[in-house]
Amino acid sequence: MVIEMEFTCIETFCGAGGLGAGLKEAGFKLLWAFDKDEQAVETYKNNVSVKVSVEDAAKLRPETLLGLAGMNKRELFLLSGGPPCQGFSRQKRGGENGDKRNRLIVKYIRMVQGIEPMFFLLENVDTFKKKRGKIYLDLLETGLRNMYEIHVKEINCADYGVPQVRKRTVVVGVRKDLGIAYEFPKPTHTNNWITVGQALRNIPTPPDDGSEYADPCYPNHSVPRVTSINIERISYVPQGSGRKCLPRRLQLPCHKKKTGWPDVYGRMAADKPAPTITGGFDNFTRGRFAHPNHNRPITAREAAVLQSFNINYKFFGNKGQVRQQIGNAVPPLLAKSLGQSIISAMQSAQCQQEETSSQKSFIEVVIGG
């Protein structure tokens, strides 16, 4: 008989709650979460859990975090988090050492060392395991490999039902004394990616005047402000294309060069997953963010759906803050799959231990008899 246990979790750098929402749905009990962003914490509090606080990770001690969660060292099942990743992004100019946010990876390592959870989960951009972030991944492995078996994998969120091509690096650590084997979840949608058209098909059209959609079941659903000339530009771009399709009279000088980002001034394709949703999703000049069927950028509600948030998940803050919360989030569907794989690893280990114990008891009875 498998012993029932609580799958407890403390979430670091929780943001708006994409990771927390997915872990909660997977079966985790969220004991505490924190983030430095006050508006993101408000979003988390109203959608995921009230057990969250505004904290500066650079000043927060592991024992303080354990106290907030009511746990002792080595008792916690999972420490999760996605330290700010913008410093590793392909769109970040300059060296990877020039962004102070990258140093929060080191803080995350120290939290793991101070809390010693059974598992830890870290999510970051795909470049985290490449040139820009490798120095920090190496630091994490060096700092924790004596105590943890560390598993690293690059994952495409579209393979797990997220209607978006979003490649991420995921790190899962398992404390060595537990003797638990871990495997990343197998993809569920490798050959049947969810498309933009499928994801957005039931979302109503927002008002043209930029006001919020009246039904509170669709929060954060308003048309971004767009200039008339950019609306005209959008009208010329077919699905899946970008700036190269603009008439010459509407092209900017930079558009006439062969170099540059081809997806800017682009429109999503209805029959494919969305491109990576960033904090600039409401401005089609920054990427392929125009709606597939309407001459406008996608709304915050539509972006959240493409991130796999529930339709009524409400984000708090001004438009810029909401954009960043959505663009920086871990897709909840990916988080759920990862959470389920961690729970499954523990349950499998428990079953094996129970089976071994039963076999041993049977042998002792036979020999004794």
DSSP string for 124-149:
EEGGGGSTTTHHHHHHHHHHHTTTEE
Residue 90 lies in a domain: yes
Assess if residue 199 is contained within a domain: no
Looking at residue 102, what is its pLDDT? 62
User: What residues have CB less than 8 Å from 90, skipping those under 6 apart?
Assistant: 127, 132
Per-residue pLDDT at 2: 47
* C-alpha 118 chain-centroid distance: 21
Residues of the chain under the 70 pLDDT cut: 1-3, 85-102, 132, 255-260, 354-369
CA distance 168 to 84: 13
* Residues ≥6 apart with Cβ < 8 Å to 170: 121, 122, 123, 152, 153, 154, 155, 184, 338
**Amino acid 136: pLDDT:** 86
Give the CATH number, domain containing residue 110. Answer: 3.40.50.150
Tell me how many domains the chain contains.
1
Task: Provide the token pair at 304.
Answer: 């959240």
Catalytic machinery residues: 85
- pLDDT for 82 equals 84
Q: For position 164, what pLDDT does the model report?
A: 97
Among candidate residues 240, 229, 327, 225, the one with its CA nearest the CA of residue 288: 240
- How far apart, in whole angstroms, are the C-alpha atoms of residue 174 and residue 197? 39
**Cα(first)–Cα(last) distance of the chain, in Å?**
24
Tokens of 125: 């951009």
Residue 264 DSSP class: S
Is 243 within a domain? no
How far does Cα 334 stand from its chain's mean position?
7
322 lies in some domain? no
3, part of any domain: no
In-domain check, residue 44 = yes
| Residue 368 lies inside a defined structural domain of this protein | no
Please give the helix or strand (H or E) that residue 73 lies within, else none: none
Domain residues for the domain of 144 are 8-189+332-356
Concatenate the DSSP letters of all residues of 11-70 into one string.
EES-TTSHHHHHHHHHT-EEEEEEES-HHHHHHHHHHT-S-EEE--TTT--HHHHHHHHT
Residue 41 lies inside a defined structural domain of this protein = yes
